[in-house]
Structure 1
């Protein structure tokens, strides 16, 4: 299978004083803005027109004969070529981020030198508003850099990145049948409803529990990243399993270690005692665990069950 290029590693929304544009950072560090959102922010389409999904209106304006001397001034013909990037299986059309600044400069220069059409005038006026917004965003970025806030954010993203694989891993049996059987027992469900085929799939509630006691115990942001890489379709199903996106040496390895901890805790509780087991899990394995460098607890060692035994002694004494 050919590996896709231009893979999105981070995404967000760029707030430009009321104008929001979807933005992305690719695996090679390229910053990209959504073509669709750019043409909306530039008022190249009317709001009620649903602003052409692929951003094709933007490309047509870049190629208008009257604007070309300003758009392509000292720039190559391929300077404004769109970038096709991928977020999981989703294809996104965009432009390198600084292209938006160049477009704004070009329209403002054209406004000062030629007579524009009514729509071109609207766009040029919008470009002036956006340019002022860029200045405000620049000030915020400088403050983030000076205060070390950006460095903290970068460290947070680095930790999340350690747990996410560079590409989809082949499926391997990961959630063993015993995991689900123990959950059914703790919840108070009849396991034979599943094994006999009465229930063809596990109830959605099992997925909710799995997020709570498994994926939410990975570092802050990992589950959010998994949801982006492996989104639900219109029927509410996912194409892949979340664990296929975990890195082999860190994310997947810790997932398997986590199952060992859950197995020990599950064995301490009887039928229908899921709430007690969940409280035990949360006391030992707080949600969104990250390293001490971000002020939270380091995950306990996979083989260290002394704290579990301590909890069990307290439970028996109460």
Structure 2
């Protein structure tokens, strides 16, 4: 490396180190996404349901695509030898290619390449896993069985056709997608809900603004008969804030609060407040919630009445017991 290049490298490293932790993290994530694009988030295996040791995955794309590895696709169909090239070699055969048709062949020719080296997901030395959307397995099986009934396949391929029939009998296309989700431990509904709540949270701390009004605190002092400390606020306010403000936020039952808290732990600094990690949407929801709770507190004559209103307005909210 020349002195000029060495100087540029040192300068780049210094600039990188000068960036805030959250900014460096964001840049690293962007670079990883640009390199790989797709990544496995969940992993399962067909052993129990199909009797074959085949890995399946759920990817991190918008569709949460359920996939089976290319090697696994070959194993599912009973192809032996040739490792990851077994499927391309099989479909290139004259009779099989004719049975499958152009659309399926094009899909086989363009496997999904995704990063698999996450906990519980092993990857080859190169770090990339080749796979296919799992519905393609069903499409191939249907095409093979249909071609066989028409007498368009070789007798030597009868064993593979029999395996295709077993797979079709075990699952339809929609069913096998659900099976991959189940085997990989992916709850589609739950995951989509979490993704929706992420709109309320941001990774980097926004600039501090006072969000909790003095009026709300005055009402809590009155209703709970608390004495104002010389510094700070009573410890009871922490639980009131979490249970009456944060947990009901966006009707998320605490999910938005947990996401914001996780973001703070990962990217924040000592002294940062949880609400600093709410997005613009999240801040609007927070201010609405604070206004609602302040209103309930203002019209309440005592703690019992206040908590009764809270229980009625906030689904299932239990009363707090401070002893």
TM-score by length of 2: 0.41
Q: Which has the larger radius of gyration?
A: 2
**Quick check: which one's helix share is greater?**
2
